[in-house]
Amino acid sequence: MQISFKKQQLTEVKDELLCVAVLQNLEFPKELSELTKTLRKEEFEGKVGQAVTLTTLGKLSFKKLLLYGLGEEKDFNLDFVRRFAGTAIRVAIGMKSDNISIALPKTKGVSPSDFAQAIVEASTVANYKCIKFKSKKDDYFEVKQITVVGTEDVSVAVQKGFILGTAQNYVRDNNENPANIATPQKLAELAQILSKEKGFAIEVLGKEEMKKKGMNAILGVNQGSPLPPVMVLMEYNKDKKNLPLYSVVGKGITFDSGGISIKPAKGMQEMKYDKTGAITTLGIMKAVAELKLQIRLIGAFTATENMPSGTAQRPGDIVTSYNGKTIEVLNTDAEGRLILADTLAYVAERKPEYMIDLATLTGAIIVALGRFRIGLFSNDDKLAIAIFDAGEHTFERVWRMPLDQEYSDMDKGDFADVKNIGSESGDAGSITAACFLKEFIGETKWAHLDIAAVDAVEKHPYLDKGASGIGLRLVVETLERLAKK
Ligand code: BES
Ligand code: ZN
Ligand code: ZN
């Protein structure tokens, strides 16, 4: 797929489909009045999400016009424009149109660049569908050329939107790989390929190095699997010591069966997405390098399966983690926090100014927030505010949750320092999980994003069913905001 910007009047568009978004109760673009004058109010009045397709019958240089409603100006949200672009791509795919033009909308308070970036992000992700495992690919159609049309030059924003949309698709495509394909070793190879391509420094720790370093929390989770674990640390701009150092850490459970505390069979296949944090970390590194952000960035993850077997970790086992704290493993299904314990402690030694982790950590976050907001936990207000604002802007929204001492107290162990579940009943399950992570970050300014509810989507205005890649645009936008301050 190609995306470009063209300075053009709407009447000059020669593609099969021109897509135009309009606010409710405002006039349609004058150039299109020949077509739109026949529209009755009942057919289309610009209500948010409303869409009609009109045939131009040779009266204009393009064949079809898609009109999309953005609703009233007072209720406007930039994500309506992403949904417009998503609809444009779906209509084009339905018509089997190879090339389409999308007009830049106009409303007060939003720059043409923000519009262009949002349109390109959403059209890039809407044009992706995972077909690599289908033996017949014929019924699949993809739009080949998308042209953003407007009167102000927004080529830079178009390029930026394309980098972000493509990185999000990279996350979706890799995260869709099931556990028999995406083994821990495969994730390490993916990191090696990316690092070579982008010039990152890279460190890969295998099982033996982990044993030497005392990363027993990871090794405990791994011991039920025949596949060895890996820890990967990539670094962007490693030698530019004058730039601020940030870090992103991802949970990479390639399959979470629960281990001996085994999960119910129903829906267990979804646990191939338990590596979302790790894959998103790779996508973030890719986007940050392509956008040439003026920061240093460590992207780290640990990957392993969580499997039951005769050698698997048992409930009640006690392990000593990398930072020396002892952990009672009361539930082997609370494994994400165990592998993150060692990984966060290891990355914290590098003394990054900020550390952000992404983890499909708890089912409880779906109970707390549903699927519309990511759980945010942070020990630093400035970082939390940057993430919150980035969430509103990218529409990958977050909601901040507490980290009070009382919740940390729930994690205190009877026999070891901490236990890996806060209570048998699951009270405050996401919060006690976040408080557990906090035991391993030292003094680092840190934020934890519990992305369990958004790793994959069923129905979405611009994403096909499956791995979502949600979280990538949020974190890249956050890093940009932190670097500016
Ligand atoms: N990977 C799961 C969390 C999860 C649940 C992700 C649903 C996506 C969708 C995590 O490892 C887990 O199993 N958590 C347990 C914790 C419990 C044992 C304290 C959970 O949420 O049930
Ligand atoms: Zn689990
Ligand atoms: Zn898990």
DSSP state for residue 420 in the 8-state scheme: S
Find the residues whose C-beta lies inside 6 A of ligand 1.
Answer: 256, 274, 331, 333-336, 360-364, 421, 429, 452
The best mutation among 261, 333, 421, 449 to test binding of ligand 1, ranked by most ligand atoms within 8 Å of the C-beta, falls on 333
Say what the pLDDT of residue 280 is.
Answer: 99
- Helical axes 276-291 vs 155-175, angle rounded to 10°: 160
Low-confidence ranges of the chain (pLDDT < 50): none
Say what the pLDDT of residue 156 is.
Answer: 98
Q: 237 vs 1, 188, 200, 356, CA distance in Å?
A: 30, 20, 7, 18
Among 454, 455, 420, 415, CA closest to 434:
420
What six digits make up the tokens of 240?
A: 């530019």
Give the closest ligand to the alpha carbon of residue 273. Answer: 1
Cα separation, 164 vs 86, in Å, equals 15
Distance 472 CA to ligand 3 centre (A): 19
Say what the pLDDT of residue 146 is.
Answer: 97
* Domain ranges, ordered by start, for the chain: 2-150, 167-484
Taking the CA of residue 263 as reference, the ligand 1 atom at the shortest distance is 13
Look-up of token digits 């998103």: 280
Cα separation, 114 vs 78, in Å, equals 8
Among 349, 352, 317, 346, CA closest to 331:
317
Cα separation, 468 vs 470, in Å, equals 5
Q: Which CATH number fits domain 2-150: 3.30.365.10, 3.40.50.720, 3.40.220.10, 3.40.50.1100?
A: 3.40.220.10
Among 131, 101, 135, CA closest to 18:
101
Cα separation, 459 vs 465, in Å, equals 6
Taking the CA of residue 261 as reference, the ligand 1 atom at the shortest distance is 18
The answer to whether 445 and 380 are in contact (CB under 8 A) is yes
Domain 167-484 sits in CATH at 3.40.630.10
What six digits make up the tokens of 173?
A: 């495509």
Distance 190 CA to ligand 2 centre (A): 24
User: What values do phi and psi take at 372, rounded to 5?
Assistant: -100, -20
Distance 219 CA to ligand 2 centre (A): 15
User: What values do phi and psi take at 108, rounded to 5?
Assistant: -65, 145
Distance 333 CA to ligand 2 centre (A): 4
Say what the pLDDT of residue 174 is.
Answer: 98
Cα separation, 205 vs 214, in Å, equals 12
pTM here is 0.98
Say what the pLDDT of residue 404 is.
Answer: 98
Say what the pLDDT of residue 40 is.
Answer: 86
- Helical axes 336-348 vs 429-438, angle rounded to 10°: 30
Catalytic residues: 263, 337
Please give the full DSSP string across 436-458, using - where no structure is assigned: HHHTTSTT-EEEEEE-TTTSEES
